[in-house]
Amino acid sequence: MLPLLHPALLLLLGATLTFRALRRALCRLPLPAHVRADPLRTWRWHNLLVSFAHSIVSGIWALLCVWQTPEMLVEIEMAWSLSGYLLVCFSAGYFIHDTVDIVVSGQARASWEYLVHHVMAMGAFISGIFLGRFVGGGVLTLLVEVSNIFLTIRMMMKINNAQHLLLYKINKYVNLVMYFLFRLAPQAYLTYFFLQYVGQRSLGTFLLGILIMLDIMILIYFSRLLRSDFCPERLPSPQHKDKFLTE
């Protein structure tokens, strides 16, 4: 079936519109006073609320997929389940929504790293959505959303200038542990798999290239996270207050 007629397009469209509707609904919630006073913080707050909702749903969903279909941990290319396939489509719809939200809101320059990440993620998901291959790999990649739950809490508390709260101090340690377990570890495992796979097919080479670029980004973010939360005295003076990913 031609890609333009592929039924997955309806799933992608449905997921994208779902996140758009969710954003509209979340915009009706009251804002913290510190956030409400700044239009940029207001946009970022709403954007992170959608991201938070996606992380909770996708993180738990990915764990359930691995529990229901444990062969995804080994048969990364051929392991398949309907739940895993729908999860990949669901998250691809979020990335499409978030990309559009960033561009339409005029935040593309400040949030260019997010745009690069989203494009690479959607490129990697194509093989699972349209070819039915590497759905297991897509599910393992989405385990990162468990880590993103705590990372998003951290970012929202920073936007609200709530770093002095005990919750922030507890969350920064939980976030560090989750970063290792659900971001660094799955990414390292997938990179190892594709290094073994790369010589067999061109698709493996394409996906390995995306993984390596994501590895570099993840390590950069990790270094920023450590400096910001555990070595704040070593942080350079802020030059771009509108940066989104690097807070």
Residue 203 resides in a domain: yes
The model's confidence at residue 239, banded by pLDDT at 50, 70 and 90, is very low
- The overall average pLDDT reported for the chain is 90
The model's confidence at residue 127, banded by pLDDT at 50, 70 and 90, is confident
Residue 176 resides in a domain: yes
CA–CA dist 35, 11 (Å, integer): 34
Lookup result for tokens 């393992």:
140
CA–CA dist 221, 205 (Å, integer): 24
One-letter identity of residue 4: L
CA–CA dist 163, 172 (Å, integer): 10
Structural domain of residue 84, as residue ranges?
A: 4-26+36-229
Residue 109 resides in a domain: yes
Residue 93 resides in a domain: yes
Residue 234 resides in a domain: no
Give residue-wise pLDDT tens across range 131-166.
Answer: 888 999 999 999 999 999 999 999 999 999 999 999
Residue 157 resides in a domain: yes
Residues whose CB is less than 8 angstroms from the CB of residue 74 and which lie 6 or more positions away in sequence, other chains included: none
Segment among 14-28, 33-47, 202-216 with least mean pLDDT = 202-216
CA–CA dist 76, 63 (Å, integer): 15
**Can you read off the two tokens belonging to residue 173?**
């340690």
Q: Domains in the chain: how many in total?
A: 1
Residue 244 resides in a domain: no
CA–CA dist 87, 174 (Å, integer): 25
